[in-house]
Every structure is written in structure tokens, then in C-alpha cells.
Amino acid sequence: MRVLIISQYFWPESFPINDLALGLKERGHEVSVLTSIPNYPSGHFYTGYGLLSPLRDSFEGVTVYRMPMMPKGNGNALNMMLYYLSLALSGSLLGPFLIGRKVDLIFVYQPSPITVGLPARVMKVLSRAPILFWVQDIWPETLAGTGMVSSRLVLKSVEKLVKFIYAGCDRILVQSRAFFERIQNLGVPKEKIFYYPNSAEALYQPVNVESDAPEQGLMPNGFRVIFAGNIGKAQDFPTILSTAEKLKSYPEIKWVVLGNGTMRSWVEEEVRARNLNDAVHLLGRYPVTTMPRFFSLADALLVILKKDPIFALTIPSKVQSYLACAKPIVAALDGEGASVINESGGGMSAPSGDADALADIVLRMYKMQKPNREKMGQLAREYFERHFERNTLLDQLDTWMKEEANA
């Protein structure tokens, strides 16, 4: 089957869609991707890419069409709007010209933005291919939750756009069961909505790191709480830093951040202002292939989202990656994400935005005997294998795709 994936993000940016594309290729599909020029999370084009980059690229046998677009820059509202809309426009105009009618199925990966659905609708008219739309973030609520948009008029207009895009899709896949009601409220029949959670790439598994490995030299000594991912507004770094302040009297507890993002400068300034230089260590961004090695050196892995009703519906994709690596998790989450961690037995959760509660569970993890933490890690891995195993999920997706293509 000729499958076109449409996504705002793709390799060399680190997102679950990269592995899904390879998984579909492994199952014999001819996969191509329509996407942007890589610039996430820094907001600047990656080395070797720019506005004049070739339109065609390749990733392990997957053809990649990179559309001219604006980078997200410093992440302010105007830049983000141009970033989102420029890909939607160029994808809608150039995508059909480059790809034509040679598509049997369109698969849309939608964290943010919803606008990736516009090129899909255009391609559907041209190719008559069905659309499977994988919802990672609920719009327009996510816009309000991140603080990007507060105007009720704008949010209402975005809601109309969402309804238009969903109406043109043949199946809506959701990464959290809590999304069902919200999407039904936007006019999608329940029978068109299917639960399809994130998995984690096969590389996410328990590993042993040599004593002289480079990662060892980057790590502070002590009890290491590692956060990996974007340093942005949604990740609630104010609560992380407040928690680190509350635990200053335990100098053994070290907070290690792997990643980059628009709030990094603010975090660096706050670390200095709060005299947290010895406690908080910003190591920067490293290739996704090194993450399991870093995770193996953690005493606990941290996942956190700011307090907002919309974030309580989601399961951050790093939860699956953490579970797969068999390390205990500390979380500041509400709703679905917290439920998964608590149900797994592989970690502890505190309410979003509650630095006191997060400090309490980190301290409890710190005081716990190492064999007990190791047991939590084992439970985390077992839960991952039961609920989020990669090949099982890919087989399910493959079945749905064939059903739609043959309908």
C-alpha cells in the first residue's frame, strides 16, 4: 500500500512518528512523508537545512518531502502561527504537485498543530485516499492551555477549522481514551474514533552502561532525577525549580535535564537566581539513540505537565519511553497520565503544579531502598509490554489501514 504520512515534525526531529513510519515500511508498505524543514525544539533550522533545502529527502528508505516554511523561532504567538500556517499552505499547494495521485492512504500525525489536516484534505480530494488522523493534542483547548491564544473569537474560529478537518477523516485515532468525549463533542461519531496509544521505539529498553562511557562523565554524583524532552511552557519548569528549592537541604538529590527549548534561557536565569547551580544540571540536547543510556544512570525519571484541564486528558509520550526503560517514574500529572503511572506500579505521581507534593514523592523515592526502586522499574517494563508494545500496536494499525483502503 502507498502510504503518505503528513506531519509537522519528522526525522531528524525526535518524535514517535519516525518509528511508526519505519514500522509501516517493515510491513511492506511504500511510505512517504510530507513534513517541514527540521527546526524543533530550538526554533532554528538544523545544520544542513534551510529555506532553500531540497524538497526531497530520505530517511532509511522512506521518501521525505520537505515543504518551504517559516521556522518557529523564539516560539512567540506570531512565530508559531507563521510556523504552523506556512507548512499548511505550502503542503496544500506543493504536496499535490510533488506527490500527485499516487496515494492509497493518508495518515496524519497531529500533536500540535491541527493545521496539518489541511494538506491531508487537499490530498484526499486529489487521490480519493482515506484519511486516518492520529490525535495527540486536542485543539483548540491546547492553544488556550499553553497560553498561546486567549481570544475567544480566535479559539472559536479554530474550533470550526477542527470540525472541518475531522469531518473529512475516515477514522480518528486517539492516544488517550479521555479524548473520546471531546472529539465526539466536535461532531465525530463514536464509531469513527479508535484508541491508539503511543508506543516507544525498540531502542527504549533497559541497558547497562560501561563505567567509562561518555554519559557517565556528564552525570553529577548523587541521586539523579532525570527529565528528558522539550523545555517549554507546557512542561512546567517553574514547578520543577520550586521543588528543587524545597529539597535544597538534601544536596544528594540532583535534577538532570536532557533537552532544549524556548524556555531554556529562562530556566538558566532562574537556576542562577535561586542558587540552584549545584542541584539543577542542564546538559542540553542529545540524540534519541543515547536516551536509554542516560536513563540507565537515573534513580528516577521525571514527567511533568502544567496544570490545565486539557493536559489532564493526555498521556505524555515520554511516559511510554520511561516505562520501557524499566526505571521508576516520578510525575506531576493529573488525569490519564497519572492513572497510567499509578496503575503500572512503576512510579509515583503528584498533582500538576503542586511543588510540595512533587517534593514529597521525590523524597520518598530518594529514601527508598534500591531493591524496591528496581522492583518498581520491573513493574514499569511489564506494564509497557502489556499495553504499549510496538509490534502489537503496529499490527493493529496495519489492520485498520487495510480495512479503510479496501472499503
pLDDT in tens, 26-74: 999 999 999 999 999 888 999 999 988 889 999 999 999 999 999 988 8
Least Cα distance to 401 among 99, 123, 1 occurs for 1
pLDDT of residue 151: 82
Average pLDDT of the chain to the nearest whole number: 94
Going by the DSSP 8-state scheme, the letter that residue 233 receives in this structure is G
Contact 55, 97 (CB under 8 A): no
pLDDT of residue 101: 77
Q: Give the residue, 101 or 364, on which the prediction is more confident.
A: 364
- DSSP strand pairing (131-135 vs 171-174): parallel
pLDDT of residue 163: 96
pLDDT of residue 230: 92
pLDDT of residue 262: 86
pLDDT band at 275 (very low <50, low <70, confident <90, very high): very high
pLDDT band at 75 (very low <50, low <70, confident <90, very high): confident
pLDDT tens digits along 99-154: 987 899 999 999 989 999 999 999 999 999 999 999 999 998 888 877 777 788 98
pLDDT of residue 351: 97
Please tell me the distance from the alpha carbon of residue 218 to that of residue 198, in angstroms, as a whole number: 30
pLDDT band at 402 (very low <50, low <70, confident <90, very high): very high
Please tell me the distance from the alpha carbon of residue 244 to that of residue 169, in angstroms, as a whole number: 45
Cell triple for 192: 469513527
Contact 127, 48 (CB under 8 A): no
In CATH terms, the superfamily for domain 2-199+389-405 is: Glycogen Phosphorylase B; (3.40.50.2000)
pLDDT of residue 68: 92
Look up cell 542541584; give the residue: 279
% of the chain exceeding 70 in pLDDT: 100
pLDDT of residue 141: 84
pLDDT of residue 41: 84
N residues, the chain: 407
Q: Say yes or no to pLDDT of 316 above 80.
A: yes
Please tell me the distance from the alpha carbon of residue 257 to that of residue 244, in angstroms, as a whole number: 12
Least Cα distance to 330 among 240, 200, 219 occurs for 240
List Cβ neighbours of 225 (8 Å cut-off, separation of 6 or more). 253, 254, 255, 256, 298, 299, 300, 301, 302, 330, 362
What element of type H or E holds 373?
helix 370-387
The reported pTM is 0.86
pLDDT of residue 60: 95
Question: In the chain, which residues fall in CATH 3.40.50.2000?
Answer: 2-199+389-405, 214-387
> Which burial class, exposed, middle or buried, applies to 268 when counting CB atoms under 10 A from its CB (0-12, 13-18, 19+)?
middle
Contact 332, 307 (CB under 8 A): no
Least confident of 19-23, 51-55, 213-217, 237-241: 51-55
The architecture in CATH of the region 214-387 reads 3-Layer(aba) Sandwich (3.40)
Least Cα distance to 63 among 38, 97, 98 occurs for 98
Least Cα distance to 304 among 341, 279, 267 occurs for 341
pLDDT of residue 327: 97
